[in-house]
Amino acid sequence: MRRVVVLTTGGTIASRPDGRGASRAVDGAGTLLARLAGEPGVPVEGVDVLRVGSYLLTPGDMAGIVARAHEALSDPDVLGVVVTHGTDALEETAFLADLVHDDPRPVVFTGAQRDAGAVDTDGPRNLADAISVAAAPEAARLGALVVFDGRIYPARGTRKTHTLAPAAFAAPDSGPVGLVRDGVVTLTARPVRLPGLPLGELDLDGVRVDIVPCYPGSDTVALDAVTAAGAQGVVLEATGAGNANHAVCAAVARLTAAGVVIGLSTRVHAGPVAAIYGNGGGVDLIEAGAVPLGSLRPAQARILLIALLARDRDPARATRDLPLLAGVSPGPTPHPLTAHRASDHPAPDPSLT
Protein backbone atom coordinates (compact mmCIF):
# COMPACT_ATOMS: atom_id res chain seq x y z
CA MET A 1 0.00 0.00 0.00
CA ARG A 2 1.40 3.38 -1.00
CA ARG A 3 1.72 5.40 2.20
CA VAL A 4 3.63 7.95 4.24
CA VAL A 5 5.48 6.73 7.34
CA VAL A 6 5.44 9.07 10.35
CA LEU A 7 8.23 8.51 12.89
CA THR A 8 7.53 10.14 16.25
CA THR A 9 10.38 11.07 18.59
CA GLY A 10 8.73 13.30 21.19
CA GLY A 11 9.17 17.05 21.49
CA THR A 12 6.57 19.72 22.12
CA ILE A 13 4.24 18.24 19.51
CA ALA A 14 3.92 15.18 21.78
CA SER A 15 4.09 17.00 25.13
CA ARG A 16 1.53 17.80 27.81
CA PRO A 17 1.93 19.65 31.11
CA ASP A 18 2.50 17.54 34.22
CA GLY A 19 1.43 18.36 37.76
CA ARG A 20 4.05 21.11 38.02
CA GLY A 21 3.02 22.65 34.72
CA ALA A 22 6.22 21.44 33.05
CA SER A 23 5.71 19.90 29.61
CA ARG A 24 6.86 16.33 29.02
CA ALA A 25 6.67 14.22 25.86
CA VAL A 26 3.97 11.59 26.46
CA ASP A 27 1.94 11.23 23.24
CA GLY A 28 2.81 8.51 20.74
CA ALA A 29 2.20 8.14 17.04
CA GLY A 30 -1.41 6.97 17.42
CA THR A 31 -2.39 10.03 19.44
CA LEU A 32 -0.63 12.45 17.13
CA LEU A 33 -2.24 11.00 14.04
CA ALA A 34 -5.69 10.93 15.67
CA ARG A 35 -5.44 14.71 16.15
CA LEU A 36 -4.51 15.56 12.57
CA ALA A 37 -6.05 18.71 11.14
CA GLY A 38 -8.32 17.16 8.49
CA GLU A 39 -7.91 14.00 6.46
CA PRO A 40 -4.34 13.46 5.25
CA GLY A 41 -5.45 12.36 1.77
CA VAL A 42 -2.97 9.46 1.80
CA PRO A 43 -2.60 6.35 3.98
CA VAL A 44 -0.33 7.01 6.96
CA GLU A 45 1.60 4.58 9.14
CA GLY A 46 2.74 5.79 12.56
CA VAL A 47 5.86 4.42 14.27
CA ASP A 48 7.03 5.35 17.78
CA VAL A 49 10.80 5.84 17.96
CA LEU A 50 11.36 8.01 21.05
CA ARG A 51 9.38 10.17 23.47
CA VAL A 52 11.83 12.80 24.68
CA GLY A 53 12.49 16.50 24.41
CA SER A 54 15.10 17.02 21.72
CA TYR A 55 17.35 18.87 24.18
CA LEU A 56 18.09 15.38 25.59
CA LEU A 57 19.25 13.87 22.31
CA THR A 58 22.84 12.86 21.67
CA PRO A 59 24.43 12.69 18.21
CA GLY A 60 24.08 8.90 18.50
CA ASP A 61 20.34 9.29 19.11
CA MET A 62 20.09 11.53 16.06
CA ALA A 63 21.90 8.95 13.96
CA GLY A 64 19.43 6.36 15.19
CA ILE A 65 16.48 8.50 14.06
CA VAL A 66 18.08 8.97 10.64
CA ALA A 67 18.70 5.22 10.37
CA ARG A 68 15.02 4.54 11.14
CA ALA A 69 13.99 6.95 8.38
CA HIS A 70 16.18 5.12 5.88
CA GLU A 71 14.84 1.79 7.11
CA ALA A 72 11.32 3.02 6.33
CA LEU A 73 12.43 4.06 2.84
CA SER A 74 13.66 0.54 2.14
CA ASP A 75 10.00 -0.28 1.38
CA PRO A 76 9.26 0.83 -2.22
CA ASP A 77 5.62 1.48 -1.30
CA VAL A 78 6.61 4.31 1.07
CA LEU A 79 6.07 7.68 -0.61
CA GLY A 80 8.09 9.61 1.94
CA VAL A 81 8.90 9.84 5.65
CA VAL A 82 7.85 12.41 8.24
CA VAL A 83 9.76 12.79 11.51
CA THR A 84 8.06 14.62 14.38
CA HIS A 85 10.81 16.13 16.51
CA GLY A 86 11.43 18.62 19.27
CA THR A 87 12.30 22.03 17.90
CA ASP A 88 15.34 22.62 20.14
CA ALA A 89 17.57 20.27 18.13
CA LEU A 90 15.47 19.69 15.02
CA GLU A 91 17.94 21.57 12.82
CA GLU A 92 20.75 19.18 13.79
CA THR A 93 18.89 15.91 13.14
CA ALA A 94 17.39 17.23 9.90
CA PHE A 95 20.82 18.29 8.65
CA LEU A 96 22.32 14.94 9.59
CA ALA A 97 19.53 13.25 7.62
CA ASP A 98 20.31 15.48 4.64
CA LEU A 99 24.02 14.66 4.78
CA VAL A 100 23.39 10.96 4.17
CA HIS A 101 20.20 11.14 2.11
CA ASP A 102 20.57 9.38 -1.24
CA ASP A 103 16.94 8.52 -1.98
CA PRO A 104 14.68 10.64 -4.22
CA ARG A 105 11.87 10.44 -1.67
CA PRO A 106 11.85 13.16 0.98
CA VAL A 107 12.40 12.95 4.73
CA VAL A 108 10.35 15.77 6.25
CA PHE A 109 10.89 17.10 9.79
CA THR A 110 8.26 18.98 11.73
CA GLY A 111 7.17 19.71 15.28
CA ALA A 112 5.28 22.27 17.32
CA GLN A 113 5.81 25.33 19.45
CA ARG A 114 2.66 24.89 21.54
CA ASP A 115 2.21 21.63 23.43
CA ALA A 116 -0.51 19.11 22.68
CA GLY A 117 -2.60 20.30 25.62
CA ALA A 118 -2.89 23.87 24.31
CA VAL A 119 -6.20 24.87 22.74
CA ASP A 120 -4.36 26.55 19.88
CA THR A 121 -1.62 23.93 19.48
CA ASP A 122 0.12 24.14 16.12
CA GLY A 123 1.16 20.48 16.07
CA PRO A 124 -1.76 18.94 14.13
CA ARG A 125 -1.53 21.50 11.33
CA ASN A 126 2.25 21.20 11.04
CA LEU A 127 1.99 17.42 10.94
CA ALA A 128 -0.73 17.49 8.27
CA ASP A 129 1.41 19.85 6.19
CA ALA A 130 4.47 17.64 6.57
CA ILE A 131 2.51 14.57 5.44
CA SER A 132 1.30 16.48 2.37
CA VAL A 133 4.88 17.40 1.47
CA ALA A 134 6.18 13.86 2.07
CA ALA A 135 3.54 12.50 -0.33
CA ALA A 136 3.94 15.18 -3.00
CA PRO A 137 5.73 14.21 -6.23
CA GLU A 138 7.08 17.77 -6.34
CA ALA A 139 9.17 17.08 -3.24
CA ALA A 140 11.19 14.35 -4.94
CA ARG A 141 14.96 14.83 -4.91
CA LEU A 142 14.83 17.70 -2.41
CA GLY A 143 16.60 15.72 0.33
CA ALA A 144 15.67 16.33 3.95
CA LEU A 145 13.20 19.14 4.55
CA VAL A 146 11.76 21.13 7.44
CA VAL A 147 8.06 22.00 7.27
CA PHE A 148 6.81 24.52 9.78
CA ASP A 149 4.06 27.14 9.85
CA GLY A 150 3.14 26.48 6.21
CA ARG A 151 6.67 26.94 4.87
CA ILE A 152 9.01 24.35 3.37
CA TYR A 153 12.71 24.73 4.10
CA PRO A 154 15.79 22.78 3.04
CA ALA A 155 17.44 21.14 6.04
CA ARG A 156 20.78 22.75 5.25
CA GLY A 157 20.92 26.29 6.56
CA THR A 158 17.56 26.16 8.34
CA ARG A 159 17.59 26.96 12.03
CA LYS A 160 15.30 27.86 14.88
CA THR A 161 15.05 31.63 15.06
CA HIS A 162 12.43 32.20 17.74
CA THR A 163 12.01 30.50 21.08
CA LEU A 164 8.20 30.65 21.24
CA ALA A 165 6.58 31.99 18.05
CA PRO A 166 4.75 29.53 15.74
CA ALA A 167 6.94 30.68 12.84
CA ALA A 168 9.93 29.23 14.64
CA PHE A 169 12.23 28.35 11.73
CA ALA A 170 13.94 30.27 8.96
CA ALA A 171 16.70 29.86 6.41
CA PRO A 172 18.21 33.36 6.68
CA ASP A 173 20.61 33.01 3.75
CA SER A 174 18.19 31.54 1.21
CA GLY A 175 14.61 31.54 2.46
CA PRO A 176 12.02 28.77 2.07
CA VAL A 177 11.82 26.59 -1.04
CA GLY A 178 8.04 26.41 -1.01
CA LEU A 179 4.72 26.65 0.76
CA VAL A 180 2.03 24.18 1.80
CA ARG A 181 -1.57 25.06 2.51
CA ASP A 182 -4.59 22.77 2.82
CA GLY A 183 -2.63 19.92 1.29
CA VAL A 184 -1.43 21.90 -1.74
CA VAL A 185 2.34 21.99 -2.12
CA THR A 186 3.88 24.85 -4.09
CA LEU A 187 7.62 24.93 -4.73
CA THR A 188 9.41 28.20 -5.49
CA ALA A 189 13.01 26.95 -5.54
CA ARG A 190 15.04 23.76 -5.40
CA PRO A 191 17.92 23.41 -2.93
CA VAL A 192 21.30 22.40 -4.29
CA ARG A 193 22.16 18.82 -3.29
CA LEU A 194 25.80 18.55 -2.28
CA PRO A 195 27.69 15.22 -2.16
CA GLY A 196 26.73 13.15 0.83
CA LEU A 197 28.18 10.62 3.21
CA PRO A 198 27.42 6.88 3.26
CA LEU A 199 24.77 5.99 5.82
CA GLY A 200 26.73 2.90 6.84
CA GLU A 201 29.49 5.12 8.23
CA LEU A 202 27.15 7.02 10.53
CA ASP A 203 28.61 5.63 13.78
CA LEU A 204 28.86 8.81 15.81
CA ASP A 205 29.68 7.18 19.14
CA GLY A 206 33.05 8.16 20.50
CA VAL A 207 33.40 11.29 18.38
CA ARG A 208 33.51 14.52 20.35
CA VAL A 209 33.14 17.92 18.72
CA ASP A 210 32.50 21.02 20.81
CA ILE A 211 31.36 24.56 20.05
CA VAL A 212 33.48 27.31 21.58
CA PRO A 213 32.31 30.94 21.47
CA CYS A 214 34.60 33.86 20.75
CA TYR A 215 33.65 37.23 22.21
CA PRO A 216 35.37 40.48 23.18
CA GLY A 217 38.00 39.61 25.75
CA SER A 218 37.73 35.84 25.28
CA ASP A 219 40.78 33.73 26.07
CA THR A 220 41.70 30.13 25.27
CA VAL A 221 40.52 28.50 28.51
CA ALA A 222 37.39 26.96 26.97
CA LEU A 223 39.22 25.92 23.79
CA ASP A 224 41.98 24.24 25.75
CA ALA A 225 39.49 22.61 28.13
CA VAL A 226 37.40 20.88 25.45
CA THR A 227 40.44 19.60 23.60
CA ALA A 228 41.96 18.38 26.88
CA ALA A 229 38.68 16.53 27.46
CA GLY A 230 39.12 14.70 24.18
CA ALA A 231 37.49 16.84 21.49
CA GLN A 232 38.75 15.77 18.08
CA GLY A 233 37.08 18.79 16.51
CA VAL A 234 35.95 22.25 17.52
CA VAL A 235 33.62 24.74 15.88
CA LEU A 236 34.48 28.33 16.72
CA GLU A 237 31.45 30.59 17.08
CA ALA A 238 33.35 33.70 16.06
CA THR A 239 32.30 37.33 15.86
CA GLY A 240 31.38 39.15 12.66
CA ALA A 241 32.50 37.45 9.46
CA GLY A 242 34.69 35.07 11.48
CA ASN A 243 37.02 36.95 13.83
CA ALA A 244 38.59 36.33 17.25
CA ASN A 245 41.89 37.63 18.67
CA HIS A 246 45.62 36.87 18.77
CA ALA A 247 45.40 34.39 21.64
CA VAL A 248 42.73 32.32 19.89
CA CYS A 249 44.69 32.38 16.63
CA ALA A 250 47.78 31.06 18.42
CA ALA A 251 45.74 28.29 20.04
CA VAL A 252 44.20 27.34 16.69
CA ALA A 253 47.66 26.98 15.15
CA ARG A 254 48.82 24.84 18.06
CA LEU A 255 45.76 22.60 18.10
CA THR A 256 45.48 22.06 14.34
CA ALA A 257 49.15 21.10 14.27
CA ALA A 258 48.25 18.46 16.89
CA GLY A 259 45.48 17.04 14.69
CA VAL A 260 42.40 18.80 16.05
CA VAL A 261 40.03 19.90 13.25
CA ILE A 262 38.76 23.43 13.80
CA GLY A 263 35.86 24.87 11.85
CA LEU A 264 35.15 28.59 11.68
CA SER A 265 31.54 29.77 11.97
CA THR A 266 29.96 32.92 13.35
CA ARG A 267 27.42 34.09 15.90
CA VAL A 268 25.87 36.47 13.35
CA HIS A 269 22.34 35.64 12.16
CA ALA A 270 23.05 35.58 8.40
CA GLY A 271 25.86 35.84 5.88
CA PRO A 272 28.95 33.75 5.16
CA VAL A 273 32.24 33.53 7.00
CA ALA A 274 34.82 35.55 5.06
CA ALA A 275 38.54 36.18 5.40
CA ILE A 276 38.62 39.97 5.68
CA TYR A 277 40.55 41.03 8.79
CA GLY A 278 44.09 40.38 10.00
CA ASN A 279 45.39 41.30 13.44
CA GLY A 280 43.61 38.35 15.05
CA GLY A 281 40.73 38.27 12.60
CA GLY A 282 39.51 35.77 10.03
CA VAL A 283 42.56 35.96 7.77
CA ASP A 284 44.80 35.00 10.70
CA LEU A 285 42.46 32.27 11.93
CA ILE A 286 42.37 30.62 8.52
CA GLU A 287 46.15 30.90 8.14
CA ALA A 288 46.40 29.22 11.56
CA GLY A 289 44.40 26.25 10.24
CA ALA A 290 40.74 27.01 10.94
CA VAL A 291 38.41 25.93 8.12
CA PRO A 292 35.81 28.54 7.07
CA LEU A 293 32.31 27.04 6.99
CA GLY A 294 30.46 29.46 4.73
CA SER A 295 26.90 30.04 5.91
CA LEU A 296 26.67 26.99 8.18
CA ARG A 297 26.01 28.09 11.72
CA PRO A 298 27.63 26.32 14.69
CA ALA A 299 24.87 23.78 15.42
CA GLN A 300 24.86 22.28 11.92
CA ALA A 301 28.61 22.80 11.47
CA ARG A 302 29.19 20.63 14.53
CA ILE A 303 27.02 17.84 13.09
CA LEU A 304 28.95 17.96 9.81
CA LEU A 305 32.29 17.77 11.58
CA ILE A 306 31.13 14.88 13.78
CA ALA A 307 29.96 12.98 10.70
CA LEU A 308 33.24 13.56 8.85
CA LEU A 309 35.35 12.47 11.80
CA ALA A 310 33.12 9.44 12.38
CA ARG A 311 33.72 8.31 8.81
CA ASP A 312 37.27 7.08 9.38
CA ARG A 313 38.67 9.08 12.32
CA ASP A 314 41.04 10.79 9.87
CA PRO A 315 41.44 14.49 10.78
CA ALA A 316 43.38 15.30 7.62
CA ARG A 317 40.62 13.91 5.39
CA ALA A 318 37.95 15.63 7.48
CA THR A 319 39.79 18.96 7.13
CA ARG A 320 40.04 18.49 3.36
CA ASP A 321 36.37 17.59 2.86
CA LEU A 322 34.89 20.05 5.35
CA PRO A 323 34.71 23.06 2.98
CA LEU A 324 33.06 21.08 0.20
CA LEU A 325 30.35 19.60 2.39
CA ALA A 326 29.85 22.95 4.09
CA GLY A 327 28.99 24.34 0.65
CA VAL A 328 31.93 26.73 0.52
CA SER A 329 32.63 27.86 -3.02
CA PRO A 330 36.29 27.94 -4.07
CA GLY A 331 35.65 31.25 -5.84
CA PRO A 332 34.19 34.55 -4.66
CA THR A 333 31.49 34.28 -1.99
CA PRO A 334 28.06 34.22 -3.70
CA HIS A 335 25.30 36.59 -2.72
CA PRO A 336 23.04 34.79 -0.18
CA LEU A 337 19.94 35.13 -2.35
CA THR A 338 21.55 33.02 -5.08
CA ALA A 339 22.41 30.17 -2.73
CA HIS A 340 20.03 27.74 -4.45
CA ARG A 341 21.87 27.98 -7.79
CA ALA A 342 24.01 24.97 -8.59
CA SER A 343 26.65 27.17 -10.21
CA ASP A 344 27.52 28.65 -6.82
CA HIS A 345 28.80 25.33 -5.51
CA PRO A 346 31.76 23.08 -6.32
CA ALA A 347 31.25 19.88 -8.28
CA PRO A 348 30.77 16.73 -6.20
CA ASP A 349 33.94 14.86 -5.29
CA PRO A 350 33.39 11.15 -6.17
CA SER A 351 35.93 10.14 -3.51
CA LEU A 352 33.54 11.25 -0.75
CA THR A 353 31.45 8.14 -1.19
Active site residues: 12
Nearest of 237, 353, 228, 224 to residue 290 by alpha carbon: 237
Q: Are strands 15-17 and 23-25 parallel, antiparallel or unpaired?
A: antiparallel
Residue 20 CB neighbours (<10 A): 7
CB 351, CB 334: distance < 8 Å: no
Strands 159-160 and 169-170, bridge-based pairing: antiparallel
Name the nearest CA neighbour of 142 among 82, 194, 191.
191
Question: By C-alpha distance, which of 149, 128, 154 is closest to 139?
Answer: 154
Q: Could you tell me which residues are beta bridge partners of residue 159?
A: 170
* Separation between Cα atoms, residue 157 and residue 174, nearest integer Å: 8
Q: Are 11 and 54 in contact (CB under 8 A)?
A: yes
The CA-based angle 160-305-238, given to 5 degrees, is 60
Cα–Cα distances (Å) from 272 to 93, 177, 202, 264, 328, in that order, read 22, 20, 27, 10, 9
